[in-house]
Amino acid sequence: QMPRTHGDSFIHIDRFAAVYEQSAALPIHSFATGDAVSLAIGKNVAQLVRNGDCLQMGIGAIPDAVLSCLTEHKDLGVHTELFSDGILQLVEKGVINNSKKRFYPGKLVTGFALGSQKLYDYVDDNPAVIFMDIEQVNDTAIIRKNPNVMAINSALQVDLSGQVCADSIGTKIYSGVGGQMDFIRGAGLSEGGRSVIALPSTAAGGTLSRIASVLSPGAGVVTTRAHVHYIVTEYGAANLRGRSLRERAQALIAIAHPDFREQLSRDAFEVWGLNL
């Protein structure tokens, strides 16, 4: 029941010492319905997407919400690790046609697919979808070949200087680093490229601010403050590119949850020495 995909996936049967065949259903990942916070974040991110952009995004409620808000856009392209149902919906609507890409123009480039049976049926023997080795999909030198790359990723915590933690909660590893840095760097080098870190403003049922004065002890920096561009929450977007520490803190506090802004302002002065 495995789809036959085009791209780097053809291997001659003579290269195998043994072959075992079994029919088994593929794992199904349901399209995220999203909540009010995810939808608000999706709308804020969608406002940063321009017609003709080449998208990269992950999986989950926020990426799905972003994709659901792009139905009025035109001529979008895709060069991404993951091909999901949210992307497929935009392909079917003609929003994504890959016409503005320079690397495999007219083709949707991806590394793997995860979603519904409809998605798997779509990629089956479809030459419009190119599956490539992740070493190529995530190669910064290849990503930057496309103009207007828009890399959309998530995070667990962001500090007031713009450092992004996406793989751990303190010293506890939560997930792998993934391709976040590859695509943020590639977008930064792309002609007209931009990148977004999208996250809810709070965690733990609203008791913790994801925008923190400093990262939790032991937290890993996945995206450095030298590479970060837009940070987006349900309260808006902060453009940190080329900004001073003071400007960064002001912009991030403005999109933090209102319950934490006063404390963050005090921390900006007491911890960072920033007089806002």
As annotated, the active-site residues are: 81
Spell out a b/e string for 193-230, using b for 16 or more CB atoms within 10 Å of the CB, else e.
bbbbbbbbbbeeeeeebbbbbebbeebbebbebebbbb
113 φ/ψ angles, rounded to the nearest 5 degrees: -125, 140
Q: CA distances (Å), 50 to each of 19, 72, 100, in order?
A: 47, 11, 12
The interaxial angle of helices 245-254 and 258-270, nearest 10 deg, is 160
Characterize the bridge pairing of strands 108-113 and 164-165: unpaired
Q: How far apart are CA 252 and CA 271, in angstroms?
A: 15
**Torsion-angle region of 212 (φ positive above 0: left; ψ -120 to 50: alpha; else: beta):** beta
Q: How far apart are CA 142 and CA 164, in angstroms?
A: 24
Scan for tokens 């680093």, then name that residue. Answer: 177
